[in-house]
Amino acid sequence: MDRSSMPELARRIFASQPFTQLLGAELIEASESGVTMELPLRRELQQQHGFAHGGVISYLADNSLTFAGGMALNDDALTSEFKINYARPAKGARLRAQAEAVSVSGKQAICQCRIWSVDDDRETLCAVAQGTIVRVSGGPGGSRA
């Protein structure tokens, strides 16, 4: 696929994910060197103590890893597996996820991401994640197909 058309393809895929629309996430940037997503926080995304629910953060990890892998593989991609460490409870106006591929082979990319809560001019690291992203043609499993 023509690399110059990947950011546009990424935007189209992102916009066509109903769950992404339900949560209200935004694709800020998508290039070969990585992707940035943001998610404005609101009450519906919280757990019982007023912080962002872990599932909201793991959504951002899953999705940013997938898109970073897709950009690096230059193809439609899916997350085969990932691991996330929560560093701190997440609150603030929004979450920001930045993901990049750290190793790319023909069929898969190993990607890492960091997720911050952002409030005014203050960023706090909330989570880090690492996972395997594979071409859609690469196998039957994965969180997307």
For residues 59 and 42, what is the distance between their CA atoms, to the nearest angstrom? 15
Please pick, from the candidates 10, 56, 71, 118, the single residue that binds a second copy as defined by CB under 8 A: 56
> What DSSP string runs through 83-108?
EEEE-S---SSEEEEEEEEEEE-SSE
Q: Which two tokens stand for residue 66?
A: 């997938």
3-class secondary-structure state, position 142 = coil
**Is 45 among the residues that bind a second copy (CB under 8 A)?**
yes
Nearer to a second copy by Cβ, of 92 and 138: the residue is 138
Least separation in angstroms between CB 21 and a second copy: 8
- Tokens 């109903």, located at residue: 18
Q: Sketch the per residue contact string, 80 through 99, with a second copy: x for CB under 8 A, - otherwise.
A: xxxxxxxxxx----------
Least separation in angstroms between CB 64 and a second copy: 10
Distance, first Cα to last Cα, the chain: 18
**Is 68 among the residues that bind a second copy (CB under 8 A)?**
no
Binding site for a second copy (CB under 8 A): 13, 16-23, 43-49, 51, 53-63, 66, 78-89, 102-103, 105-108, 110, 112, 114, 125, 127-132, 138-145
